[in-house]
Amino acid sequence: MPENAIPSPGPLGIYLHVPFCEAICNYCNFNRELFRDHLKRRYLAALAREIESAGHGGRADSVFFGGGTPSVLDPADVRTLIARCASSFALDPAAEITLEANPETASRPRLEGYRAAGVTRLSLGVQSFRDAELRRLGRVHTAARAIEAFEAARAAGFDDVSVDLMTWLPEQTPEDWGETLDVLLQLDPGHVSFYLLELYPNAPLREDMARGGWTQAPDDVAAEMYEAALDRLEAAGYRQYEISNAARPGRRCRHNLKYWSDGAWVGFGCGAHSTRDGRRWRNVSETVSYVERVAGGASPVAHERVLSTGERATDALFLGLRLTDGVDVAAVERRYGIRVWERWGGELARCVEAGLLDDDRECLRLTRKGRLLASEVMQVFV
């Protein structure tokens, strides 16, 4: 721990990156590649070795298998990795252990295997319950397959299932989005993540759109679709707790909350990030480089730095604004020894006047309008 470091509060989250996918979607900007069995075996050995090298890594109460598509792993591999985490960290016996799964790989026996291996929570990458939209995104599953996977998850004993959806898709109308929401609410998962499609500069989807003559709805219609999701989820008893996440009571994602509430986490695998005790580091992104470094006994860390107290404070404020509960100003001030309103009062007051922030000096909280324009408010702390 660097000198003068303020210890991280609460138990750690452990993130394990699985970079393999069955097919590459045309909008995807994550760190992923096509599945290759021989590379998967070498990768898993490296991942286990990296976790082991963290030895006596402290208390942890969440594990998150993210990707890529972690459901390309066999249940036995998942069991081994969880066991490695439990031997290198003091892993809470009631830890939340999430695995991201894509419908095409989520068969009932495989899901039963994950449950038996200790996975407690499944996050299903559905994106849409309309086949035409899935095809435009280059997804390999159909809506029927996604519903089957959800039902298989329930039958396999997963009470805690999250569904990921995307809106503002090419050619999608508010009515189409309404159909996806109808199916979602019938399935009744405990947790829902919903994102607006972001087209990064060289996304192959841009070319597909040009070729197909597909367009995205105007910005104000995208905002309407986002609002419609919130209205329908809230009417059905969900509560939004973060800009892109809503849950039934007791179903918020413990792991992801660490990212937004000034928590600490350690990441393993290619491209994984970690933030702990005032340090931030990132592993090399490329899968083979990662495997070779770890197999050769070298560190996979590509970049590391010690954060200043000021950076830690602005991160806590910037990320905490994503939460609908907002940021407890006094807690940040105590932790980092800064005076939030003295330092940013002018800009924050302007956000209050514009109706983007609640008028509450003790808690910085975006209004519903503010959540749609969150980046404008967050600029205050950049």
Torsion of Cα atoms, 83 then 86 then 89 then 95, to 10°: 120
Q: Name which position in 13, 66, 67, 278 contacts ligand SF4 (CB under 6 A).
A: 67
**Residue 43 Cβ vs ligand SF4, minimum distance, rounded to whole Å:** 15
Walk across the sheet containing 265-268 and list its strands: 239-242, 245-247, 191-196, 160-167, 121-127, 90-101, 59-67, 12-18, 265-268, 273-276, 279-283, 301-306
**Residue 72 Cβ vs ligand SF4, minimum distance, rounded to whole Å:** 10
- What DSSP designation does 359 have? S
Q: Name which position in 5, 30, 58, 206 contacts ligand SF4 (CB under 6 A).
A: 30
Q: Residue 103, class by beta-carbon neighbours within 10 Å (0-12 exposed, 13-18 middle, 19+ buried)?
A: buried
**Residue 70 Cβ vs ligand SF4, minimum distance, rounded to whole Å:** 10
102 contacts ligand SF4 (rule: CB under 6 A): yes
25 contacts ligand SF4 (rule: CB under 6 A): yes
In angstroms, rounded to a whole number, what is the distance separating the alpha carbons of residues 158 and 205? 34
Among left, alpha and beta (phi > 0; psi -120 to 50; other), residue 34 is beta
CB atoms within 10 A of CB 92: 14
C-beta of 67 vs 170, nearer to ligand SF4: 67
**Residue 102 Cβ vs ligand SF4, minimum distance, rounded to whole Å:** 5
**Residue 133 Cβ vs ligand SF4, minimum distance, rounded to whole Å:** 14
Whether 143 and 134 have beta carbons less than 8 Å apart is answered as yes
Distances (CA, A) of 239 to 125, 182, 233: 20, 17, 7
**Residue 26 Cβ vs ligand SF4, minimum distance, rounded to whole Å:** 9
71 contacts ligand SF4 (rule: CB under 6 A): no
Q: Name which position in 21, 225, 264, 372 contacts ligand SF4 (CB under 6 A).
A: 21
C-beta of 59 vs 135, nearer to ligand SF4: 135
Count of residues that interact with ligand SF4, criterion CB under 6 A = 11
Binding mask 114-143 for ligand SF4 (x = CB under 6 A): -----------x------------------
34 contacts ligand SF4 (rule: CB under 6 A): no
- State the first-to-last Cα distance of the chain, in angstroms, to the nearest integer: 26
Whether 134 and 163 have beta carbons less than 8 Å apart is answered as no
Q: Name which position in 8, 69, 88, 261 contacts ligand SF4 (CB under 6 A).
A: 69
* Site of interaction with ligand SF4 (CB under 6 A): 21, 24-25, 28, 30, 32, 67-69, 102, 125
